[in-house]
A and B are shown apart, each in its own frame.
Chain A
């Protein structure tokens, strides 16, 4: 599904990530941890084609990203839902239109998926906030709206970058429950986080694999996690 083979990424003359090899199997639940600045976000961006590896190969759904045009990468990205720490919304559009944005940009009629959209907003607990603008949402609401947007295209993989970074414990547990639920539905989950409590809570509910970026390399985390 997502394969990295001896991947390295350099920027500004320095190598940020080196010799990374990983095969994200369908239906798996991965955590990626590591100290701040270790390259977790860069790693995720490589995984959804937002960045090009400077060495090695990144294959998304068995296609090498290096040989693809930007438009081809955009089409592949529709199979990957991404949740950012800062969520990244279009602040001038209400929640419903933001959540439906992947449908809009892929040429599908959001009105046709109206029932699905309502169901999705109910699932993330945002029915009453459907017409609110993103700046009017709380941190937890923003994360849940971002998750709803990430899954509206029914993607095979969901990548989340520090999804609980800006929300309280209770809200992070609620978000984790949604992600676990998605995993049980067969979705592949990869979460970058330094929140060890979140990882432990997830391990109690579902089988997970924890990776750590240390010294620019990808390692399996120790048994303490």
Chain B
């Protein structure tokens, strides 16, 4: 049905308005689809990264009077060394704690004068440890130690990123549906405006499949062309979005990477396919009505 046939294509007169509408719709929808796709892929990457990076680490905070910090830290480390599921545990140095705070308070922070808690960084095995059991042991042997396994704040972030990813795919689905609706409307308008052409074609013995093909081919090719330009423009716009790889989040990592390009490349042919199906449907209905 999509096979190029110059003579068959010429039987449908050029229709300026519907041609421009289809081209523009495909252009705009593909442009938006690129952004929705980039958003979805970026959200997916962020969710994966947060999940992987934070899943196997946790922190113990020692908040005790200055004279007891060292004792409590040593007690906590002893407990940790004998806890199954922990690969490594070490107390952060002052410099490391300063580095953690410097993004908020600046590099000149007089950390020695501040009553900061001592932090212990814990690296877990893949299976992890029994957090409830560890809390009980710490309460007994280092009562100033507070275990933070990151689950409390990690889970909502990962959930949010996952929902954002779903939202991106839902947007793509909505964009495809809206594009199909617009192409159907344009095809309906073109077919209705060409009722006389259809009558002539039937008079000379054209099958409905032939008549439908002439319209379907035209709309699918227009959608393909519009989508190709829309996708290209979307990619250029994505490149122009400022990136911030060091603080990679959804908004600063809005780019297409790796396998994501396959999806981008698929946008124009999928738009053509959507237009093909929508026009085929519209043509079937109009030809039935005109019979």
Contact = CB atoms under 8 A, between A and B. Distances in A.
Interface of A: 50, 70-71, 74-75, 77-78, 82, 84, 88-93, 97, 101-102, 104-106, 110, 149, 153
B10 A71 contact: no
A75 B207 contact: yes
Interface string B179-198: 00000000000000000110
Contacts of A78: 204-205
Nearest to B14: A92
A50 B200 contact: no
Interface residues of B, number: 21
A68 B171 CA distance: 45
Contact of A101 (B14, B200, B207, B208): B200
Interface in B1-38: 7-8, 10-11, 13-14
B11 A101 contact: yes
Nearest to B13: A92
A225 B44 CA distance: 86
Given A93-B10, A104-B7, A104-B11, A74 B200 contact: no
Interface of B: 7-8, 10-11, 13-14, 196-197, 199-210, 291
B201 to A, nearest CB: 6
Contact of B11 (A75, A82, A93): A93
A68 to B, nearest CB: 12
B13 A90 contact: yes
Contacts of A82: 203
Given A88-B196, A88-B199, A88-B200, A105 B205 contact: yes
A71 B203 CA distance: 12
Contact of B291 (A70, A77, A91, A104): A70
Contacts of A101: 11, 200-201, 204
B205 A153 contact: yes
A105 B10 contact: no
Given A105-B11, A105-B204, 13 more contacts: A74-B205, A78-B204, A78-B205, A84-B203, A89-B200, A93-B10, A97-B10, A102-B205, A104-B11, A105-B8, A105-B205, A106-B205, A110-B7
